[in-house]
């Protein structure tokens, strides 16, 4: 059995106000396949959404010892 391909995990999260309404988005890419996830909460923080995006993305990976590269979008004002 050969080596498994790298899984690329792209994440972002935000809120309007801290706390305020917010959400997260995730894109997983691997060997030509792509999966998108998203969710949100009525009262949350941007930090919670940023971290939850990574957690939700990692939870979707079913392989043991998978090679994962995580990319997060962080914007500061």
Answer whether residue 1 is part of any domain: no
Residue 3's pLDDT is what? Answer: 86
DSSP symbol at 11? E
Answer whether residue 47 is part of any domain: yes
Answer whether residue 54 is part of any domain: yes
DSSP H/E element including 68: strand 68-72
6-65, pLDDT tens digit by residue? 999 999 999 999 999 999 999 999 999 999 999 999 999 999 999 999 999 999 999 999
- Distances in whole angstroms, Cα of residue 68 to Cα of each of 8, 41, 74: 6, 27, 19
Structural domains of the chain, count:
1
Structure tokens at 47: 């930090």
Residue 40 is part of which domain span? 7-72
pTM for the model: 0.90
Residue 74's pLDDT is what? Answer: 64
**CATH number where 57 lies:** 3.30.420.10
Answer whether residue 77 is part of any domain: no
Answer whether residue 66 is part of any domain: yes
């Amino acid at each position: 059995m050969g080596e498994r391909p790298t899984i690329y995990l792209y994440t972002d999260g935000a809120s309007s106000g801290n706390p305020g309404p917010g959400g997260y988005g995730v894109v997983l890419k691997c060997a030509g396949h792509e999966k998108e996830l998203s969710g949100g909460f009525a009262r949350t923080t941007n930090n919670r959404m940023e971290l939850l995006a990574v957690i939700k993305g990692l939870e979707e990976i079913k392989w043991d010892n998978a090679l994962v590269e995580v990319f997060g979008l962080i914007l500061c004002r």
